[in-house]
Amino acid sequence: MKPQQKIKTRWTGAAIVLACATIFALAFTPQTYIFGGGPERGYTWGKALAANLLMFYIWAALTPLVLWLGRRFPFERKSWPLSALIHLATSALLAPVHIVLNIQGERMMGLLSDMPFDMAFGRFLTGRTATFILIYWAILSVGQAVENFRKYQEREYRLTQAQLQALKTQLDPHFFFNTLNAISELVHKDPEAADRTMAQLSDLLRLTLQHSAPEVPLHNEIEFLRKYVAIQQTLLGERLRVQWDIDDAALDVRVPNMILQPLVENAIRHGIAPRASGGRLEITAQRDTGKLHLVVRDDGPGLSSAEAMPEAEAMPEAKAMPEAKAMRNVNEQAASTGSIGLSNTRARLHHLYGAAHRFDLSNAPGGGLAVQITIPARESETQSAPHEAPESQSRQRSIRREVAASSPQVKAATKP
């Protein structure tokens, strides 16, 4: 995390703690007013509010210490007994410390001016110790819950990054080997085509290393895919015919990084390359009512009836399984058919979107395999960032022009 983000996070946390302390003070003020005797004993609403603000603001000041102790001595499987003893001792010690600070504060505010310190301390010690210990444990519990959630998010992010990195390293070595072979042959037959293919391969590798975020705008994904498909067309020649159908309104929607490449690779490898006549590849992206629909379709032999079922129908028992076991079975099913790229795609979509996505495999009308992905249509953050560097905005416009130029079938968004 950057220093500016750390400072912003700390200030946000402090504001939340102070806001919570103020809310609790307001909530407990009526109770304090009633038990204080009301106006008959000279106890006003103002004094009741001041006493509660002082008590909870002291706890707000002690919250960083409690949270630090929670991080230093967390409740983990092996160390929870020691952590429990440490927190029990600390809560018992902080209670009298808080009482002393509370008494001094109330004396300065004139709320205990007529009561000796020892009498006030005994009164507070017997009346508030249990409450203060419970407050300590409440703060500790909230801190532990937030810390566990943060660790969960970090694990999910690392898992997503590991899957993306694995996908990058799984770019078929035979693809690179065949590309280099094709370039070596083109050097003698068509030097210009060899130079062009080498530049495309260089751009492909650069884009693979450049984008490391879990999600990227669709126009970046299409740029990467366009270069990948261009190299495949160099290898297969006229046997590979590609049709693009990209909705212009979808180009700024965030999609998982390299989500389409394994689908296209699978279609070319299993549906088009084995046939002497080659085949047609269709790549579609449509935005509709808050959803983004991605389709990769070939006109190859397709799948058997069992394999062609949508994921939710092909494994009905997954609904009754624990989440991790269901995902493991889906991955094993994909691995058994050789579709490791599809298994990786399923897992990444599951981790990024949970139940908000759909991933279907089906035989396309007229023959071939259609892989359909539906995800929430979330706009790219870079699209609406007015402070973004001009060169970055220029790069985005250039990418969009390249995508449109290479895709004659790119459709503009239709207005109702």
Instruction: Decide if 385 is inside a domain.
Output: no
pLDDT averaged over 10-residue windows placed end to end, the chain, 416 residues: 71 88 88 67 76 88 90 84 90 88 82 74 82 90 87 74 58 65 79 83 74 81 88 85 91 88 87 90 92 93 60 39 40 44 77 87 87 88 46 56 52 38
Residues 201 and 112 in one domain: no
Q: What is the pLDDT of residue 410?
A: 42
Residues 401 and 279 in one domain: yes
Contact 33, 43 (CB under 8 A): yes
Residues 99 and 246 in one domain: no
CA–CA distance, 15 with 324 (Å, rounded to integer): 38
Q: What is the pLDDT of residue 413?
A: 38
346: CB partners within 8 A, 6+ apart:
311, 327, 330, 331, 334, 359
Residues 185 and 77 in one domain: no
Residues 144 and 41 in one domain: yes
Instruction: Decide if 86 is inside a domain.
Output: yes
Instruction: Decide if 391 is inside a domain.
Output: no
80: enclosing H helix or E strand: helix 80-108
Residues 214 and 135 in one domain: no
Q: What is the pLDDT of residue 388?
A: 44
Where do the H-state alpha helices sit in 170-190?
173-189
- Kindly state the tokens that stand for 34: 């009633």
Contact 213, 157 (CB under 8 A): no
Instruction: Decide if 162 is inside a domain.
Output: no
Contact 83, 74 (CB under 8 A): yes
- Domain stops at, among 98, 127, 157: 157
Q: What is the pLDDT of residue 245?
A: 92
CA–CA distance, 140 with 83 (Å, rounded to integer): 12
Range of the domain at 115: 3-157
Residues 310 and 338 in one domain: yes
Residues 277 and 242 in one domain: yes
404: how many CB neighbours lie within 10 A of its CB?
Answer: 17
Instruction: Decide if 166 is inside a domain.
Output: no
- Domain stops at, among 157, 192, 216: 157
- Kindly state the tokens that stand for 180: 């280099």
272: how many CB neighbours lie within 10 A of its CB?
Answer: 23
**CATH, residue 347:** 3.30.565.10
CA–CA distance, 10 with 344 (Å, rounded to integer): 37
State which amino acid sits at residue 191. Answer: P
- Domain stops at, among 131, 157, 183: 157
Backbone angles phi, psi at 142, to 5 degrees: -65, -45
Report the domain count for the chain: 2
Report pTM: 0.54
Residues 149 and 208 in one domain: no
State which amino acid sits at residue 34. Answer: I
Residues 277 and 219 in one domain: yes
CA–CA distance, 81 with 399 (Å, rounded to integer): 57
Residues 88 and 120 in one domain: yes
Residues 128 and 191 in one domain: no
Instruction: Decide if 30 is inside a domain.
Output: yes
Instruction: Decide if 373 is inside a domain.
Output: yes
Contact 297, 368 (CB under 8 A): yes
Instruction: Decide if 273 is inside a domain.
Output: yes
Cα torsion 345, 347, 348, 354: sign: positive
46: enclosing H helix or E strand: helix 45-72
